[in-house]
Structure 1
Amino acid sequence: MIKYWVFYLLMPLILSQLLIGVFYSNFTSMSLLEAVSNSLEQYFTRGEINLKKYYVSSCTDLSGLGEETHVIFDLTSSIYFEGCIKEFSSETQSIVISIENPKNFYSDWQFFTHIAARSHIDAMLTLSDYLNWDKFIVISDEIQNQFASRFRNKNILFHSIADTASQVSSDNFIAKEIKITGVRNIVILNTGETTEKLVKSLKNKNLFVAGSGIILGSKSLWGIREDGILAFIEDGLESSFDSNSYEVLGCIKFVNFILGFGDVSSRLELRRFLEENTVNHHPIPKFSLVNIQKGQPVKVGEIYKKSLKLDLPIIFPGNSSLIPNSIITNIRISMADGVTNPGFQSSPYSHIIKWGANYALSYINQTHFLDGFEFQVTHTDCGAEVYSKTYSLNCFKQLKDNLGIALLTSYNANACIGNIISLRSLNISIPHISDLTPGAPLANETAYPEFMRVYKDSRYNAGVIFSLISVFNWKSVISFYENSPGSFAAYKAFEGLINNSDISIVNNANQRMINTNYKHTDVTKYKNWMEDALSTKVRIYILFILPPGIFYFIEDFYDLGMRREDAVFMFYNRVAYVLLSESDPTQVLKLNELMYGSVLIDQLDWIGEYGKKIKDGYEKIYGSTAESVVFRCFSFDSAMLLANGIKFTLYQGENPEDNKILNTNLRKQRFTGCSGTVSIEPGSNDRSIAIMGIYNIRYNQTISSLYEHLVGKYDRGSIQLINFFENISWYNNATSIPSNIVTDGECPFDKKLIKYSTKGAGILYGISFGIIIVTAFITFLISKIWWNIDIVQLTAPVLAKLEDYFAMLMIFLYFLQYLAIGPDIGEYDKLSSWLSSYAIINLGWITEGKKFWYYVEAVLLALIFWVYFSFIIIFKFEGKFNNFFFQYSRSFAKLIMPILGNAGFLPIVSVLLNVIQCDQAIGNDLSQSFVRKDCSVFCWQGTHLRNAISSIIALILYLPLAIYFRPYWDNSNNDINIKTRPLFLIAKSLLQIFIIVLNKTLKKQYQSLYGLIYIIAFLGFIYLCLKKKPYNYDRCNLWTTVSYCAIIWSAALSSLYWVLYYRSVSTWVILQYIGWGIMITIGAFLQYKRYPSLLFTEKATDISILFKFSLGHIVKAEEINRWNKERSDKKYLAYDSRENILNSHGYAIDLSRSQSEDFEQKKGSSENRLIDQR
C-alpha cells in the first residue's frame, strides 16, 4: 500500500476539527475510494479531520445523510446521481465537493476539485498563441461539441476519441484521421488514460520528428516520457502518477484550501469563502508548464489566468529548440536530374526532361493535391546517362540522409540500374519511378522490385512498327540497332515478330548491331554493312537507334550515296524534335534530304482535356517549342504517380515512409494523367495502358527544320486498332504507300555510283549552244528581211478587245516562267516555286520518271501540227486550194499557234532540252550516262537516241518558225490594240533560248554563276525596255520593266541563299515579298501619276427596252433616243476625262467628238432598225 502522507507533510495545523463525509456508490472505483479515504484519514489521527463514508444506492438514500459534516466529497462517479446530489446540497445547504466537473447545471452549494474545462481551453489558446500556431489539431473526448464556438478565429481541426479506446484503435485513429491531414501541431485534451496510448501512437506513426509540436492538456504525465512533449497540468498535480493519485491530490489540495479558512463550523460562511476564492465554483485556473527533456518532466513555466510565464527553454520533438509553427508537412523526395556523366561529356537532357516532374511537383503543391503536405526535393547528380560504380556510390553516400521516401530516377536505363545498385549497397530500398526508361531488363519486377515506369516498354513500340509494316504490305526491310538495353530489347521483339511472318530482314544478321552513341568516326567499321544494305535496293529501314547517334548514322548513309527516294526510315521513338537545336547547316541539309517523309512510333502524350490543361500551364513556364514539350508529359506523370501513391497510402492509414507499403500502393494506382490512363501492369514494372502515336516527319519552312506531325494512333483499347487522322506524306510528297523495293521507273543502280559525266555534259553543251548559234543566225535573217518595222504608239482611248487583256496577262505569265528557270527559290519560297513550275510545266513529281516521256511525246506531236500549220500559213494553201480542210486548218492555226508560239515557247524548249540532259553517269562511258528526268533510261542508245534525234530536229524546226511567227501574229491581228515591236519579240526569244540553255547546263553545277549571268541578262532587257519601249501601250512597258526588276531581285536573293548557307526560311521569304511589294507599289504609283488607261469598254445595250419590245409593248422613239443620248453623253464624259489626263501628259487626241457622234449615230440607227424589224 502506497503511503499518501508524503503529499501533505507541510499541511498547516488548524484550530478546529473538519468533519468530512464521503458519498460513494456502486459506480465508484473501490481503489479510488480507498485511496481518498486513507489519505484523508491521516488527518483524523492528528485530530484535524473526521472522515465518515456514506454508501448511496439511490437518490432516496441521500435523505438525512451528512447532517453533522462540514463538507461532503462526492465520489459516486455517475451522472445518475448528479441531479440528486444537486438537490440534496441545495435543500440541506450541505457543501458538496465533486471530483468530476459537471455535465449540467450545479447548485450554489456544489464545488469541484478540478479546474473547469473552459479554463483548460483558455490555457490551450494562451499556449498556442504564444507558439504562434495558426493551424493545429485538438484531440479530446468532449471539446468538439461543447466548445467549438470559441475557436471561430482559429484554424483548428477537432477530433474525438473514446477514453476506452485500445492501442490498436488509437494507432488507426492517428494514421487515418490525424497523419493524413499533414498537420503536425497536435493538442491532446482530457482523454484520461487514452493520452498515453495516443502519445505512443504518435510515436508509432513517426510523428515525433523535428517540425512537430505535441501539447498535452492532461491530468498527469504518467507513463509518458517522450522527449519534446509540452504539457499544461493543474498546479500542484504535476507529481500524480496514475488516475487515483490525480484525484487524491485534487481532494487533498481542496481540503488544504478549506483548512486555510479557519473556523469551518458555519457552512454559510465557508460557502462564501469558497465562492470568493474560486472561479465558478472551480479552483482558480493555474497550470504548470511541464516539458519532457531527456526522459524526465521539467517544469519550464506556468499559465495563470490566461497569462504565460516561461522560466526555462522548451525542447520540441526531434530535440529541436525551434518553435514548430508550420501548417504544412514536407515530404522529402529525390530527383535524378543531374547532368554529369563520369568519364563522358555532360548531358543537359537528363535535366531538361525533368522539367515535367518539376512542374508536377509545383502543380501538386499549388493545387493542394496532398492537402497539408508539400514536396521538398533533393536533386541528385550521380550519373545522368552513364553508371560509374565508384562515382555513383560516393555521390549517394553524401545524399543518403536526404533522399526521402522515393526517387524520380533517370530516363536512361544504364543510369537507372546504376542508381538501384548504388542504393542497394547503402541498404536503401526506396521506390524508383522513371519517366522514359526503355529496355526489357528493367521490366522484371522480381529483379528490380523497387523500380517502375510510366512509359511503355520499347518492345511495345517494336510491335506497333511490325503492325504498320504489315498494313503497308511491305515484305522486305533493313534493320539496324544500337547496343543499348532499350534498343536491343526493341530489336529482339521486332525480330521475333518478323520470324513468325512472311516479312524478312534482308541485311545480314551479323551486320545489324552498331555501337551505342554512334559517331562519324565509326563509319569505317560499318561502311561495308551500309553499302551492302544499299545494294539490296530495299527502301524500308527500321532503325532502333537513339539520338544523337542516329543522326550521324543517317548522315553517313548520305555520304555513301543514299538520297531521299532510296529510303523510308521508321523509328521506334521520337527523334526529329532534337534536330531543332542543330546548327550545322551541312548536317541539316543531309538529314532534311533523307529523313523527310519518314515515320516514327512513340507513346502519345498530352491527351484529352486534362492533358491540354496541363500542357497549357506547363508551356507558360517552360515554353511551347518541341524541344521543351516532347516527353515532358511522361515526366509529369511519373511525379503524379508518386503523389497518387502517397495520397492512397495516407488514406489507408499507412505510413508512406515505409518503403514496402509505398511500393505496393504505387502499383495499385490507376489515374488519369496527361498521357492518358496511368497504371502499372501487375507482375511487371511497365505501364499497362498506353496509346501510341504515329508521326510523320515533315519540313517546316518557317523554322527551316524537320518536325514531327501526328497522323494517326495505335490504341488497343479502341474498336479500330490503327486509326489514321490524315495521310502520310512520303519522301516524294505523295500519299500513296511507296514500294519497299526500288524497282522499275526508278534508278536501277546504287546512287553512290553517280558522278558527273564530262562526255554527256560535253554533248549537252555542244548541242545546246549549237542550237543557239543556228537559231541566232536564222533570227538575224528574219529580222532583216521581214520584221525590221516599227509600231505606232497608242495615244488615244480605244475600245478594249479580249486579245488586249490576254496580251497584258502574258506579262505575268512570262514573269512566272522566268522565275521557274532562274536560280532555285524552292528551298525557301514553296508557293512562288510551285506557281512558276506550273507556268512552265516543270513539276518534278509529275514530269519525272516514266511520265516524263509522255510529255516528250505530247510535245513532239504538237510540233508536228505546228510545222503543218506553219506551211498552211506561209504558203497560203487555203487560197491556192479552195478546200474546206485547208480553210479550217488556217482558222484553227490562228487560234492555236499564238498559244504554242508565246505561252508554250519556254515549256516546249525546256521539255525537249531535258531529253538530251545527260550530264550524270555511273561510269566513264557515254553509254553509262542517264537522263536526269528518268534515271532508268541510259543515254545515246536505243530509244533514247531516237527520242534525242527527234527532239533536236524538232527544236531546229520549231525555234526559227516560232521566232518568225511571234511578231507575225502580233502585227497581223487587227483585233488587238496592244502591239509589240517585232525586234523586241525576236530579242526576247533569243534571251529565252539563252537562259533555258544555261538552266539545263550551267545551273546544276554553278548555281551562283548562273544567277549572276541571269541577272546581267535581265538588266540588259530593263535597259532595252526603258530605251526602246517594246509595247505601243505605256502601261505594258511599265509592268514589263517592273516584272524584270522583280525577277532580278528574286535571282539575287536566291544566289545569296546558296552562297551564304543561311537557312532561316522566314528571313528569305520576308525579304523576297518585301522587295516585290515595294516594286508593285512603285509601279502602281507611276501608273496612276503618269500612265492613264487608254482602253475602255462600251456600255452594254439596254436590255430592258429590247425586252419590252419583244413582249409586244409599245416602245416610243423618244425612249430609244433618250437611251442613245445617255450612252453618248457618258462616252463624251469619258473622252473629256481622258482628254484632260492625256493633254496633261502631252498626248494628242485623234478621236474628235464629231467622229464619236458619227459613230454613235450610225450604231444607234442600226439598233433602231433592229427594233423596227421586231
Structure 2
Amino acid sequence: MLFIVYLSLIQFTQSLGDFMIYVLYSEQTNSNFVSDAKNYLSNTINHSEQFFDIEVIEMVLNQNLADILDTNLNFLIVDATFNVYWNRIIYEYTENNSIVNLILSLEASHKGDWQFFLHNSVDQHQNIAESVINFFGWNNLAIVSSEVQANLKIASNIEKRLNKKVSLKVVLPDSIIEENIENYIGKIIKPEGIQMFLILVEGGHFQYLLGGLKNEKIYKKGAGILAGSSSVWADGEDGVIMYVEKGLETATSYSEYEFLAIKQFTDMILDFKLKYMSTEPFDLRLIRQLFESNTYQHRKLPIFSIINIDKGEKILKAEFENTKFQVFNRTFLYPGNTTAFPKISETEIVISVASGSTEPNGLPKNLLNPQNFLGSLYAQWVVNNSTSLLNNFYITQFQTDCGSNTYDFNFYYNCMSTNKDQLGVAFLSPSFSAGAVGYVSVFRELGLEIPQCGAGTRVATLSNKTQYPEYMRVTTSAEYFAVILAKGVAYFGWNNVAVIYANKSSIIPVYKRFKQQCETLGINILNDENERMISPGYLRTNFTQYKHIFKNIYESKARVCIILLENPNAWHAIEGLYDVGFRKGDLVPVFYSKTGGVQAISNELDEYIKKRKELMLGSLSVFSNEYIGDYGKQIKSEIAQAFYPQDPSYKCFSFDAFMLAAHGLDYTINRGDDIENPLILNKNLRKQRFVGCSGIISIESNSNNRNSAPINLFNFYYNKTSKTYIETSVIVYNPESSTPFIVMQQIMWPGGSNTVPEDMRDQNFDCPFEKKLVRNSGSGIGMLFGVCFSIFSVSGIITWLIWKKWKIVDYPKLEKTKKLKFADMIVYLVIAIEFFQYLYLGPPISSMNSAVAYASEATSVDLTSFITFKGAIFWIAMIITLCTVLLSIFLNIFTVTRFKHVFKWRCCVNLRLFAETLMPLLGNALFIPIISFLLNVFSCTHATGDSISDTYLDKDCYQYCWQGKHLAFAMQSIIAIFIYVPLTVYYRPVYQEVQESLHIKTMPKYLVIKSLTQIFFVVLKKTLGLYQPEIHGFVYLILFSFYIWIILRIKAYNYDRMCLLLFISMLMVVWSVLFTSLANILEVTFILWLCCQLTGWAAILLWGAIKAKKIPSLIITEKGIDISVLFKFMLGKIEANQIDKKEIKFVSKKEITDPDQCKKVDSNEKIADEEKIEIVIEDEMSDEKVLSSDNVLKIDENEEGKSDDTTRMNTNRKFI
C-alpha cells in the first residue's frame, strides 16, 4: 500500500507546474485583507520561486464563476467571502468541477470532497478553550464575545458546558468604538466583580478591550485573561494567555492571520514539489490527496499553541492536541506582573489599614492599635463570605505600620511613600487623634486622594468637611462627647467636679466645650483654672513636674474627676492621683474614653497595678456605643470567638469603618461608577446608611461625623461572682429617646457601693481634716457618758428633795362640771406633745414612717430632718437654747417668789400674765428638747488622734473639745442644766397652785417622777441609743413599761378621763416602740410595719373610746349662739339683750374698789351721772366677774378676764 502511495506522489510531482490561486471575496470580507491579499500572498507563499499566481476577485450578484475563472489553468480557490450565499455557489462549482476549495470561514453550510477548511472548527476552538480554563482551574468566568457567528457559537457552547463556572457572557457590538468600550466595561462587566475572562473578539476590539480593563483597574494582580485565536495578531498586554491555531502565532494583523492560514496549505504543495524536484504540471486530485493526508476531516489538524505574553513577546508555553497538553514551561506570567496563580476567581479590592504598632522616634509600641483593628479583619471575612454584598469581589487588606498614636511628619511620610501604590481604594485611619490627623496631612503631601474612614477617633478638628473632605468617621465628634459628659454629671445630681486635660490640639476643644456646657448646667469646676492642663504624653516619670496639678485636685475635695486624656496616658494620671493621697472611695474617675478594662491593670509592675485597681475600679467612661441590638450582640460574640482570648472591646468601630467602605464600594459598583475614582467613591460613601455593630451608621451631610448616635456610659468593676474584671455598658444616652438616659444595669461605684456617691469628698463632712483620719474616741465617749449620768445623778438627788415636799400633797378628784379653760387646753396639748417626744426618745422610726418621725423630731426640737445643726447654726441654736433656759429660770423665780406682791406695778402684772401663759410650755413641752440639746455640747465621740484634746465636737468638727470656745459653752451648759432642772422640777407643781382657772390638776408626785424619768430617757438616748440602737429599743421598752406601772399606781391627774387619755397615749408609745424595735432587727417591710402599727393603735384607741364612755365628762365647752338668732338680730327682729341670757348687774364706781361689796341692782335703777357705771357679767360655771368702765360697752361673754382674787378692773375700755 505504501508503495502505491509513493508511486502516486511520484506521478504528482512529475505533473506539478505553475498554477493559479483565485482568492474570492465579497462585501463581508475585511477590506485590509482584500488590499493586502495579492502582494502579501505573492511574496509569502512562493518562497524563492514564483510557483503560484495570485488573482483576487470580488464576487458580485448574478456572476458566473465559469466566466471569471480561467479554466485553461490549474488553479485553487480560496473562499474568503465569509458569506453563506457565496459559500454555496463556490461549493457547487468546485464539487462539480473537481477543484480544491480552501475555506477561511470556521463553518460552512455545505461540506464536500474538494472542500478544505483553513481553520479549526468551532468545536475544536471550544474544546481548547474549555481545556485551558480547566487547566488553570478558573471559576466565576466572564466570556466576552464579538458578534461573529463562530465566536458567538463558541461562547454559547462553553457557557452551557461549563455552566456554574460562567457568571457572565457579554457580546461586544461590532460597531462599538474604542471610546465606548471602557464605559461598557465599567457599567456591565466591573459591577460583577469578575476577574477571569475568556475573550473571543478580533484583534482590534481585543486591543481596545484590554485598554478598558486596565483603565477600569480590572486588569491587575489576580486577574486571568484567556484570548481566542482570532485575537493573536493584536498587541496584547503582559500576562495575557492565548490559545492559537498552530502556525498562526506570529501574525501581526488580521490579514496576516488569514494569509498564514492559507500559507500552511500552499506550503504543503511547495514543500512536496521542492522535495521531489518536479517541474511537471500537477493533478488536482493529487493535491486533494495531499491535503487529506495532512488534515483531519478536511480541516487543519487540531493542534493549538498556548502562548503567554511576557515583556511584549509571545512566549510558547505549551501545545494542545487531542485533549492533551504538552507543557514546555509551567511558569506563566499573569496580569499585575505576577507569576502567582490566580486561584481566586473574584476581583480583588484592596483597602489599606493603619493597623501597625510601631511609633516614631523609638517610642514604645502602641499595642492597642493592632488589637483594635482586629474588628476590620473580621469585617473582611464577613464581606468576603457575604451573598448580598460585593458578590464576585473579594477584599484584601494592606496593613501599614507607619504610626498611630504619636505623629511625626518625616516618619509618616517616609513610611507611606514606600507603600502609596499599594493602598488600594480606601484607607482605614487609626482611632488615635494624632495619627488620624497626621495621615490626612501625609496623604495630601503624597498627592493621594483616596477616602479615609476613621475607626473610632473623635478629634474635633476632623469634623470640618470643608477642610477635610477626604475624611469621614463612624463615631461622633469629641465635642459631642464633651456635651454628653456634662449632661451625665448633671444626671447623677453632681454639681461639683474637677478636670484634668491634655495640652493637645484634639483635646483642648473638648475641654472648652465641656467647660461651656458645665456653665450652662450650673456645674462648678473646683480645681484652679491654671492647674488643669498637663502634657499629652504624660507618664509616671513626669509626676514631679505635674504633682502640683494632682495636689490641687486633691485639695479641691472634688470626688468626681473628669480625665480628658487618651490611654495609656490616662492610666499614668491615675497613678499620680494615687500618689497625692487619693484612695478607694475618694475618687470617681470619669474618663474621656473607655478605660481599656483589663488592659489598664495588666502588663505592669505590681505596685502600679495596685494603684490603678484601687482608683479605677468603679470608674466611669464615655464612649461610642458598641455592639448595639441583636446584630451587634451577634458580631460581639463572633469576634470574641474568632480572636479568643482577646476582649472584643474597641473592635466594633474598626468593624463598622470597614463595613462603611464595603457598603460604599458595593453601591459604587452597582451604579457602574468607578471605584478607583476617589471623588466618586467618597461621595458614595457619604450616602450609605446601614446597620453596623454599633447601630445605624450614616454620615452627617454637613460634616465628617457620624449622625447623632447613642453614647455608652461604661462602668469598670470587679465581678465577685465570676471573679473577673469587667468594663461594661451601664447607661445608654440616646438623644432621640424621650428619656435620653437609659439605665441598662446597676452601677458598681468605687468601694463596691450601688449608691450614687456625693460629688464632694465628705460632702457632709465639712471639716479641716480628712474623714479617713477620724476615729472613735474612747475618752470622748467616756466623757459623754460621765457627764450625762452625772447630770442624771444630780437630777435624782434634786428630785428626791422635791419629792419630800410634794409627796404628801394631793388634789381632790374633780367631781363638779367645769367649763374648759385655756390652762386646761395646755394640759391636753402637753400630753399630745409628750406622746411624740416619748416616740423620739425610743428607737429610730424614720425608716418606717417619715411622717411620725418628723412629728417626733419637731416636738422634740430635734429638727435634723429640717435643719442641719452643724457649725455656726449649732452655736446659734445653742445660744438660743441658753437664752431660753435663762428666760425660763427668770420666769420661774418671778412666779415662785410672787414678785408682783412686792412691786405692784402694771408691768409686773403683765409679766405675771406672760409667765403664767408661757411657763407651761417652757416647763413641760420644752423640758426634753432643752435637756437634749444642751447635752449635745458634750458629744465629742470622735477624734483625729488618741488624746482627749484631739476630740472634736460632733456638731462642729472645726471646734476641738475641752478647750477655748467649747469649754466655755460646756461650762455654761452644765450650769444652765443644774439651775434649770431643779427650778423646772419644782415649778411644775407650783404652777398649778397659782393657776386658779386650771380645773385639771396634775398630781405633784407624778410631775416629780415624770421629770426624773424624762431626764433619764434623754440620757439613755444620748448614750446607749447612739451606740447600741437595737439594745436601746428594748431597754427603753422595759423602762417605759415600768414607768407606766408607776403612773397607774400614783394616779397622774385629778380627772379620770385625763388619766385615761395619758394611759392611752403611753400604750400607743409602747406598741410603737415594740414593733419598731422588732422591725429594726428583723428588717420587716414598711407595709407590714405600718399594718401592725395602725392595727395596734386602732385597737388601743377603740378600747380607750369604750372605756371613756364609762367615765363622766366634767370638762365641757359652752354651746355657742345659734346662727338663726344671729340672723334675727341682724334683721332687727330681736334686741341685743335677747341674745345673751346672762344676768346683768349694775354697780357703782365706788363699789369697784371693794368687789366683795358689789350688789345687784335693778336694771332700771338710776345712778348718778357723776358715777361711772360698770357692767358686771356673772357666769354660773365660773368663779370670776368681769367689769367694764363703759355703760354702753357690749361685752362678749367669751372675753372673760382673769383675776388672782375675784375681780379685775378695766379702765379706758381695756380688760386686765
The alignment status of 1:692 with 2:711, answered yes or no, reads yes
Structure 2 residue matching 1:481: 3-state secondary structure: strand
Give the partner amino acid of 1:617. Answer: E
**Which residue does 2:770 correspond to in 1?**
752
Number of corresponding residues: 837
The alignment status of 1:763 with 2:763, answered yes or no, reads no
Structure 1 residue matching 2:230: 3-state secondary structure: coil
CA distance in 2, matches of 1:432, 1:51: 67
Classify 1:328/1:273 alpha carbon distance in 2 versus 1 (closer, same or farther; 3 Å).
Answer: same
The alignment status of 1:151 with 2:162, answered yes or no, reads yes
**Which residue does 2:943 correspond to in 1?**
920
The alignment status of 1:581 with 2:601, answered yes or no, reads yes
1:278 aligns with one of 278, 291, 295: 295
The alignment status of 1:250 with 2:261, answered yes or no, reads yes
CA distance in 2, matches of 1:288, 1:555: 75
Deviation at 1:612, TM superposition (A): 1.9
The alignment status of 1:614 with 2:635, answered yes or no, reads yes
Classify 1:76/1:717 alpha carbon distance in 2 versus 1 (closer, same or farther; 3 Å).
Answer: farther
Give the partner amino acid of 1:414. Answer: A
**Which residue does 1:601 correspond to in 2?**
622
Structure 2 residue matching 1:629: 3-state secondary structure: coil
**Which residue does 1:36 correspond to in 2?**
37
**Which residue does 1:416 correspond to in 2?**
436
**Which residue does 1:122 correspond to in 2?**
127
Give the partner amino acid of 2:296. Answer: V
| Structure 1 residues 239-262: Cα deviation after superposition (integer angstroms, max 9, x where no partner) | 433223333333344455567899
Give the partner amino acid of 1:675. Answer: S
**Which residue does 1:1163 correspond to in 2?**
none
2:210–2:236 contact (8 Å) kept in structure 1: no
1:241-640 mapped onto 2 (5 Å cutoff): 241-257=252-268, 274=291, 277-299=294-316, 302-310=319-327, 316-317=333-334, 320=338, 325=343, 327=345, 331-332=349-350, 333-338=352-357, 340=359, 342=361, 344-367=363-386, 370-371=390-391, 374-389=394-409, 391-392=411-412, 395-396=415-416, 406-421=426-441, 431-445=451-465, 447-468=467-488, 477-499=497-519, 505=525, 507-518=527-538, 541-550=561-570, 553=573, 570-575=590-595, 577-578=597-598, 581=601, 600-623=621-644, 628-640=647-659
The alignment status of 1:78 with 2:83, answered yes or no, reads yes
For structure 1, the residue ranges without an aligned partner over 5 or more in a row are 1-10, 773-839, 861-911, 970-1174
The alignment status of 1:171 with 2:182, answered yes or no, reads yes
Structure 1 residue matching 2:472: 3-state secondary structure: strand
Deviation at 1:622, TM superposition (A): 2.9
CA distance in 1, matches of 2:561, 2:940: 32
Structure 1 residue matching 2:157: 3-state secondary structure: helix
Structure 1 residue matching 2:181: 3-state secondary structure: helix
Deviation at 1:633, TM superposition (A): 0.6
Deviation at 1:103, TM superposition (A): 6.5
1:672 aligns with one of 688, 691, 694: 691
1:477–1:538 contact (8 Å) kept in structure 2: yes
Q: Which is worse superposed, 493-502 or 117-126?
A: 493-502
1:916–1:931 contact (8 Å) kept in structure 2: yes
Deviation at 1:127, TM superposition (A): 4.1
| Structure 1 residues 1086-1122: Cα deviation after superposition (integer angstroms, max 9, x where no partner) | xxxxxxxxxxxxxxxxxxxxxxxxxxxxxxxxxxxxx
1:195 aligns with one of 185, 203, 206: 206
CA distance in 1, matches of 2:230, 2:760: 91
1:17–1:50 contact (8 Å) kept in structure 2: no
| Structure 1 residues 108-143: Cα deviation after superposition (integer angstroms, max 9, x where no partner) | 654432221222233334444555656654433313
1:793-942 mapped onto 2 (5 Å cutoff): 918-921=941-944, 929=952, 931=954
1:731-742 mapped onto 2 (5 Å cutoff): none
Classify 1:375/1:841 alpha carbon distance in 2 versus 1 (closer, same or farther; 3 Å).
Answer: farther
Structure 2 residue matching 1:219: 3-state secondary structure: helix
* Percent identity (aligned): 26
Classify 1:78/1:348 alpha carbon distance in 2 versus 1 (closer, same or farther; 3 Å).
Answer: same
Classify 1:750/1:522 alpha carbon distance in 2 versus 1 (closer, same or farther; 3 Å).
Answer: farther
2:660 aligns with one of 620, 634, 641: 641
Structure 1 residue matching 2:436: 3-state secondary structure: helix
2:218–2:347 contact (8 Å) kept in structure 1: no
1:233–1:290 contact (8 Å) kept in structure 2: yes
Classify 1:208/1:154 alpha carbon distance in 2 versus 1 (closer, same or farther; 3 Å).
Answer: closer
Give the partner amino acid of 1:235. Answer: K
1:976-1015 mapped onto 2 (5 Å cutoff): none
1:162–1:191 contact (8 Å) kept in structure 2: no
CA distance in 1, matches of 2:117, 2:461: 73
**Which residue does 2:60 correspond to in 1?**
56
2:846–2:853 contact (8 Å) kept in structure 1: no
CA distance in 1, matches of 2:450, 2:216: 18
Classify 1:734/1:656 alpha carbon distance in 2 versus 1 (closer, same or farther; 3 Å).
Answer: same
2:843–2:1033 contact (8 Å) kept in structure 1: no
CA distance in 1, matches of 2:948, 2:693: 62
Classify 1:856/1:36 alpha carbon distance in 2 versus 1 (closer, same or farther; 3 Å).
Answer: same
Give the partner amino acid of 2:654. Answer: S
Deviation at 1:284, TM superposition (A): 1.7
Deviation at 1:676, TM superposition (A): 1.8
1:476–1:505 contact (8 Å) kept in structure 2: yes
CA distance in 1, matches of 2:360, 2:432: 12
Classify 1:707/1:114 alpha carbon distance in 2 versus 1 (closer, same or farther; 3 Å).
Answer: closer
CA distance in 1, matches of 2:467, 2:404: 22
1:342–1:386 contact (8 Å) kept in structure 2: no
Classify 1:620/1:244 alpha carbon distance in 2 versus 1 (closer, same or farther; 3 Å).
Answer: same
Structure 1 residue matching 2:696: 3-state secondary structure: strand
Deviation at 1:489, TM superposition (A): 2.4
Deviation at 1:949, TM superposition (A): 8.3
2:356–2:403 contact (8 Å) kept in structure 1: no
| Structure 1 residues 286-337: Cα deviation after superposition (integer angstroms, max 9, x where no partner) | 3344444443445555444444445567662455556555546655534333
**Which residue does 1:1070 correspond to in 2?**
none
CA distance in 2, matches of 1:345, 1:930: 54
Give the partner amino acid of 1:458. Answer: A
1:413–1:438 contact (8 Å) kept in structure 2: yes
TM-score where L is the length of structure 2: 0.57
Classify 1:220/1:452 alpha carbon distance in 2 versus 1 (closer, same or farther; 3 Å).
Answer: closer
| Structure 1 residues 1012-1062: Cα deviation after superposition (integer angstroms, max 9, x where no partner) | xxxxxxxxxxxxxxxxxxxxxxxxxxxxxxxxxxxxxxxxxxxxxxxxxxx
